[in-house]
A and B are shown apart, each in its own frame.
Chain A
Amino acid sequence: MDDNHHPELPARLARDLDGSFEALVVAYQRLVFGLALRVVGNRADAEEIAQDTFERAYWALAGYPAERVAAMALRPWLATIARNLARNRLRRRPPPARPLEDGHGQPLAVAAPAAAEPAQVAERRSDRELLVELLAGLPRGQREAVVLRHVEGLAYAEVAEVLGRPVGTVKTHAHRGVRQLRVELEARKERTPR
């Protein structure tokens, strides 16, 4: 299960990288891909970023001394690589969908277009789409904190490590982000009663 921690994985990787690397991919592909998807907004780019993330991770692990690998916190480390690669991608190629501003003049990733989502998740499509859209509309700091904490389920300490900010700051961002989402969801519901 990829939601759990994998306390034995760093030691296994330190002992036998080639023999355990697939286990690392299996354990964290959902996190890495999901994170990339929430930043770049489309599955094709997200898959490429996820591939790049794991490729970088492999060569980094191959170059580190075994003691260092054995002591690594893999989840925030991989999330950091994925986030940085995804952000580099955005800088190079802004998303084609309507650009939003995050208050710092930076274009924000926009929700994945409906066509890019697998058909199986079509139920409750509109709710999900709405949430993705609202999430994409949050200021970047809040959005990243909400995605890492509440979508991907990282601990606040890990979120802080990935975003390179103090724990208190990312908590504040996550709370503000969630509050903003709720306000907007309420507002939509009032406008379109069901």
Chain B
Amino acid sequence: MNIDDTERGWRELAEDLRGLRADPPSTLRPAVLERVGLADALMTVHGPAGPLLVAYNGRGISATAPGEDADRFAEQFQARFRRPLRPADRPPARLVGQVERLLDPGRRATPPPFDLRGTSEFERAVLAKAQEIPRSQVRPYAWVAGELRQPAAVRAVGAALGRNPVPVLIPCHRVVGSDGRLTGYAWGVGYKRALLAAEGADPDELERLGRRGTRFFGSDTTRIYCYPTCAQARRVTDRHLMTFTSAAQAAAAGYRPCRVCRPPALAG
């Protein structure tokens, strides 16, 4: 091999080696952005009151919307979160399982992770409280405010729930007026009613109770008073069921607040 051959051989080899550079798959960039939460993917699940659009990224579920209009959701999502939203080729099985278990009436499931960037600390505290309300039950806005030790912040609680980025999955629909009225919901009060009915909460009956002035149920055997939808209250037979219009009335009758649903201890 002479010098020229050596030179030429090396140049060819160098070129061939550079030619081994592989093009990354086009799926790499969107997958990375999704995993770190700079872009989101979209899937559809069966919600209690109809199909539910669910946006998610590597940090958790970031948004929900009613219906099946993915384009419209992507538009609204982009406007609110300033991130792109694209349909998922293959939603992660783990996340799908977590959402299905959360929506399955037959199960008590730990919720999937949520990506709540863009909410305030107070808003996250309110949403965490809403998550404590069991399926088929409701609590008043004032209960959430009281639990957060900010009893005067009832309107702020309502505003925080209204900004819930993941309705249905974080059940802000389980928070209602003290008088049993459903009041507001980001997707319309009709949707809230449908959700509560699907969960077995009987919103019409709750409103009737509220109109009659009933705020709490009590049992004359245990002498404990509860919110009407509390599982403890439902166990009381009609013969032993007492109704109260306020915590003060219950207290005056010698009843103590339920430790499960934690109604207010005195004024109410």
The tally of residues in B whose CB lies under 8 Å from a CB in A reads 25
Contact assessment for B25 and A33 in the assembled complex, using a CB-CB cutoff below 8 Å:
yes
Bits for A11-55, please: 1 = Cβ < 8 Å to B, else 0. 000000010011001100110111001100001001100110011
Majority secondary structure, B binding face: helix
Residues of A within 8 A of B58 (CB): 55
B58-88 contact mask (Cβ, 8 Å, vs A): 1 or 0: 1000000000000000000000000000000
CA distance A72 to B24 in the complex (A): 24
A120 closest partner in B (C-beta): B23
Which A residues lie within 8 Å of B27 (CB)?
A: 47
Within 8 Å of chain B (Cβ to Cβ): is A163? no
Taking CB atoms, residues of chain B closer than 8 Å to A55 are 32, 35-36, 58
Of the listed stretches B10-18, B43-51, B173-181, B217-225, chain A binds B10-18
CB pair A47 B25 closer than 8 Å: yes
Identify which of residues 1-28 in chain B touch chain A, using a CB-to-CB cut-off of 8 Å.
1, 9-10, 13-14, 16-25, 27-28
Bound CA span A59–B37, Å: 11
CA distance A142 to B36 in the complex (A): 34
Verify B16–A131 contact, CB threshold 8 A: yes
Instruction: Count how many pairs of residues, one from A and one from B, have CB atoms less than 8 Å apart in the complex.
Output: 87
Please tell me if the beta carbons of A128 and B29 are within 8 angstroms of each other in the complex.
no
B19 touches A51 (CB 8 A): no
Q: Which residues of A contact B20 (CB under 8 A)?
A: 34, 38, 128, 131-132, 135, 151
> Is the CB of A185 closer than 8 A to any CB of chain B?
yes
Chain A interface residue bracket vs B: 35 or more
Does B186 lie at the interface of the complex (its beta carbon under 8 Å from any beta carbon of A)?
no
A118 — which chain B residues lie within 8 A by C-beta?
A: 23
Give the Cβ gap from B86 to chain A, nearest Cβ, in Å.
14
Which B residues lie within 8 Å of A58 (CB)? 32, 36
Is A100 close to B, CB under 8 A? no
Nearest CB in chain A: distance from B94 CB, A? 16
Do the beta carbons of A22 and B16 come within 8 Å of each other?
no
What residues of chain A lie closer than 8 Å to B96, measured between beta carbons? none
Roughly how many angstroms separate A181 CA and B12 CA in the complex, as a whole number? 12
Alpha-carbon distance between A46 and B48 when the two chains are bound, in angstroms: 40
A15 to chain B, nearest CB (A): 16
Say yes or no: A22-B17 contact (C-beta < 8 A), given A33-B22, A55-B36: no
Report the separation of the CA atoms of residues A28 and B257 in the bound assembly, to the nearest whole angstrom: 61
Pairwise interchain contact A25-B21, C-beta atoms closer than 8 A: no
A157 within 8 A of B: no
Q: Is the CB of B36 within 8 A of A54?
A: yes
Which residue of the partner chain, among A37, A51, A131, A178, contacts B32 with CB atoms under 8 Å? Answer: A51
Task: Knowing A18-B38, A54-B36, A55-B58 are in contact, say whether A30-B16 is a contact too (CB < 8 A).
Answer: no
For the complex formed, measure the closest distance between the CB of B38 and the CB atoms of chain A, giving whole angstroms: 6
Closest to B1 in A: A186
Is B31 at the interface (CB under 8 A from chain A)?
yes
Q: Which of A56-100 contact B (CB under 8 A)?
A: 58-59
**Interface: B128 (CB within 8 A):** no
Contact yes or no, B17 A131, CB < 8 A: yes
B33 contacts A by Cβ under 8 Å: yes
CA distance in complex: A132, B17 (Å): 9
Q: Which of A22, A43, A54, A182 contacts B10 (CB 8 A)?
A: A182
Q: How far does the Cβ of B225 sit from chain A's closest Cβ, in whole Å?
A: 49
B17 near A151 with CB under 8 A, answer: yes
Once the chains are docked, how many angstroms separate the CA of A22 from the CA of B36? 11
> Which B residues between 183 and 217 are near A, CB-CB below 8 angstroms?
none
Interface readout for A111-146 with B: 1 if CB under 8 Å, 0 if not? 000000010000000011001100100000000001
Residues of B that sit less than 8 Å from A by CB: 1, 9-10, 13-14, 16-25, 27-29, 31-33, 35-36, 38, 58
Cross-chain pairs A/B with CB under 8 angstroms, 27 sampled = A18-B38, A21-B36, A21-B38, A22-B38, A25-B28, A25-B32, A29-B29, A30-B21, A30-B22, A33-B25, A33-B28, A34-B21, A50-B32, A51-B28, A51-B32, A54-B36, A55-B36, A58-B32, A128-B16, A128-B20, A131-B16, A131-B20, A132-B20, A151-B17, A153-B18, A181-B13, A186-B1
